[in-house]
Structure 1
């Protein structure tokens, strides 16, 4: 993820957090912490993905994310989330003709470098996780999660020779990350996430900000 985009994301995260915290202050004045510590929860929000393609390319993609989970115990739960790209990430492709069996400059060999501008799109990314939670106060907790994720990623590159390359497709692999959650009210929380995805043909990092709704039992 580029430095400018990281700064923009963190600024947006801080601004969003401040706005929600201020708007919920009145309803949360008498709130001292969650009464229920187990039960289902649902959330939705924004994620920024930084993809690193094995065959070349490093692109940032914005996505919306929906999540559902169940806190089985105050310190352990399970959850699943789904992210859908809302824009394509641009990148500068740098590969080899031999990787694609393509003679881009028509010189009768496949030893030359392939390069050109590219676009990476995220159709979807779905993950399933176990989550361990550590409360640090009545309102604030941190957590770690690990699981497995499935994604559909498509990259399109226009080479210097004018050829169009399309690669990517379905991918899957292990995922792990950490999050911090702040309870705004008994049933609403703000959660920031970091997740690393270890796919077969690409790796990805994501930063997310989600508004979470809890339904204690």
Structure 2
């Protein structure tokens, strides 16, 4: 009986580091910044806001929404067209790798929707697309609450065309 109790006590000591890593309540952060979209020859821009709930030191969930602020003029088959990014929204699962107390790298995968408008020769068209999104980035914190974020995300659209959009973002991050 004594050996069983000692073995149980020894095994429970292995659980102490795992318990120390558990976050009892989500740690929230928000970010706001600029995202550049490279969309099949059109260079667009958007203001992006994110809310992140860190559920574990190495895992978080994130929601983001963007509103287009930079349009582009392109030429297709000799016809000038204006392309506008209307909006997008997405949700992500985020894996986090803390590198130092101030620096963390992350990878994310999620699903989103994007709306883009185009006008050429008086004809206006709007396209809404659903996409599987994946990307990488990093956060650098100046202190316990304030930092910057840089990220790259690819949007693989699920429609028949199978087009892709690469996004590059820079944001201010605030922990709450």
| Residue 181 of structure 1, aligned match among 122, 127, 139 | 139
SS in 1 for 2:101: coil
Counterpart in the other structure of 1:131: 94
Matched, 1:51 2:36: no
Q: TM-score, normalised by structure 1?
A: 0.65
Matched, 1:90 2:90: no
The structure carrying a bigger strand percent of its residues is 2
Residue 169 of structure 1, CA deviation? 2.0
Q: TM-score, normalised by structure 2?
A: 0.80
Matched, 1:81 2:39: no
Matched, 1:144 2:132: no
Residue 166 of structure 1, CA deviation? 2.8
Larger of the two Rg values belongs to structure: 2
SS in 2 for 1:86: strand
Residue 125 of structure 1, CA deviation? 0.7
Q: Structure 1: where are the runs of 5+ without partners?
A: 1-36, 53-57, 95-114, 159-163
Counterpart in the other structure of 1:122: 85
Question: Which structure has the higher relative contact order (CA within 8 Å, separation 6+)?
Answer: 1
Matched, 1:157 2:131: no
Q: Over aligned residues, Cα RMSD in angstroms? A: 1.4
- Does the 8 Å contact 1:140/1:180 carry over to 2? yes
Counterpart in the other structure of 1:204: 165
- Does the 8 Å contact 1:93/1:157 carry over to 2? no
Counterpart in the other structure of 1:41: 29
